[in-house]
Amino acid sequence: MRATRRPASILLASTVVGIAALAFAAPPAGNGSGTGTGKPPTPGTPAGAPKQAGTAASATPAAPVPPKRTKHARRGQVTRQAPRVIAPVAPPPAPAPEAPAGDAPSASPAGAAPAPNVPIAPVPAPEAPAAPELTPLELALAIPENAEFRAWYEASLQIPAPRPNYVRLPFNEWQDDDDCVVHFEGNTKVLRAGCTPRTLTLRAAADRAWGQAVEAAFGFPPEAVQRVACREADGSCAAVETAMRQTLAAHGIAATEALLMPDYQWLMDRSAPQLRDVANDIIDATYGPTANATRRQVVDALTSYVQNAVPYRTVKDGQTDAIRDGKVRCGLRTPVQTLFDGGDCDSKSLLLAALIRSVDARMPLALVHCMHGDTPHMILAVGCERAKGEDAITVEGTELVLVESTSDWGVGHVGTSVDLTDSEAVGVR
């Protein structure tokens, strides 16, 4: 069933880690499937009861019941493989007991009286220093199968500060027709006759070195996370799980026992400050450098740029135009990198959120997981002024206008193919 265009209340998760619907797998588009309901039993006959003898089967087969639509996995989910529990280490065999020392008298020199049989106290051998007791985590890291995780765990968790390398953005020109739109007819914009869209040019540059540094830090090497072993008896399973989650969090990934997904707040915190100059230049190009743009005008300008200038490009894990390291990034590209390489719906929605946040620290923002047909999809919800008839949702009592980052429909129009029935909003500060 398609959602109506009226506002819908959606639970806002303040952080990604607190969302109970997390799952550690990113299925391909259209991966969800319906659950068949089957034919209901005849009234008065228990389900599964045998037919009475002599009862003829109906000659006309019952009409098939359409499968019930089930909620698809959210974008960015990656299935997590639990640590493999291995057998405990067998203790070393106990040393064999030494034979008791003999008490035969020692030989006496010729002609000497025999010495009295005095027992001689054995001199104890010096004890070897006791080996230091290993912690449960050290025991886990010593398991040979965990060599990849150990190398990743012991690496630096800080993003190195590279030498700045400001580069003019490759996507620096776009057409803006907001002033020409009269109204929408379904998914079609109706433009005023004779109105010509404006061509806008972006002059700002972005620090590509920082963008690549964040992109390199984000995500995880699959062999370090999906091939981990532990032993229950020595406490190493709990220790390696704690270390795993801490290391994933330091690289922008939220984890549950079964799922991994992006920590959007981690990405916002490391991206928005770098985008302030770009956002201001977009606003100046749209309204002029002396204009005092309203909140809605800021959102309109930044949305137009992301929709019309930044191209839609499918994101493959471990393969960007600049970084090919094989890491899993949950199908997401970091915001600064998206400025240079383009991105798909979640990458562009996150870029738009970071641009808005770079110039407005208080505007409510939420990334909305929804469906586009049978494909998991993401749009952005923004706390700006709403015009009559625009699509919006209510998050914790606040009305937020919806923005589709992959179309050219402007703010407040997400198209009839977007289904908000099972949507979930993730707030970002």
Across 86-95, 107-116, 371-380, least confident range: 107-116
**What integer best gives the mean pLDDT of the chain?**
80
CA distance 160 to 216: 10
CA distance 248 to 253: 5
Q: Does position 321 have pLDDT exceeding 80, yes or no?
A: no
What are the structural domain ranges in the chain? 136-428
Residue 168: the pLDDT is 95
Mean pLDDT for the stretch of residues 181-189: 83
Higher-confidence position of 193 and 132? 193
Residue 132: the pLDDT is 74
Residue 85: the pLDDT is 83
Mean pLDDT for the stretch of residues 23-29: 37
CA distance 324 to 339: 18
307 Rama sector, left if φ>0, alpha if ψ -120 to 50, beta otherwise: alpha
Burial of 129 (0-12, 13-18, 19+ CB in 10 A): exposed
403, 350 contact by CB (below 8 A)? no
CA distance 424 to 202: 34
Q: Does position 59 have pLDDT exceeding 50, yes or no?
A: no
CA distance 419 to 263: 24
**pLDDT band at 74; cut points 50, 70, 90:** confident
Residue 425: the pLDDT is 94
Across 117-126, 129-138, 398-407, least confident range: 117-126
Q: How many CB atoms lie within 10 A of CB 327?
A: 19
Mean pLDDT for the stretch of residues 210-229: 92
Burial of 259 (0-12, 13-18, 19+ CB in 10 A): buried
Residue 413: the pLDDT is 92
**pLDDT band at 299; cut points 50, 70, 90:** very high
DSSP H helices, 218-325, are: 222-225, 236-250, 264-271, 276-287, 295-308
Q: Does position 6 have pLDDT exceeding 90, yes or no?
A: no
**Rg of the chain over CA atoms, in angstroms?**
33
Q: Does position 72 have pLDDT exceeding 50, yes or no?
A: no
Mean pLDDT for the stretch of residues 160-171: 93
Across 44-48, 146-150, 273-277, least confident range: 44-48
Q: Tens digit of pLDDT for each residue in 78-108?
A: 888 778 888 776 655 666 666 555 555 555 5
pTM: 0.74
Q: Does position 62 have pLDDT exceeding 60, yes or no?
A: no
Token digits of residue 241? 């799980």
Q: How many CB atoms lie within 10 A of CB 197?
A: 17
The length of the chain in residues reads 429
Mean pLDDT for the stretch of residues 390-419: 93
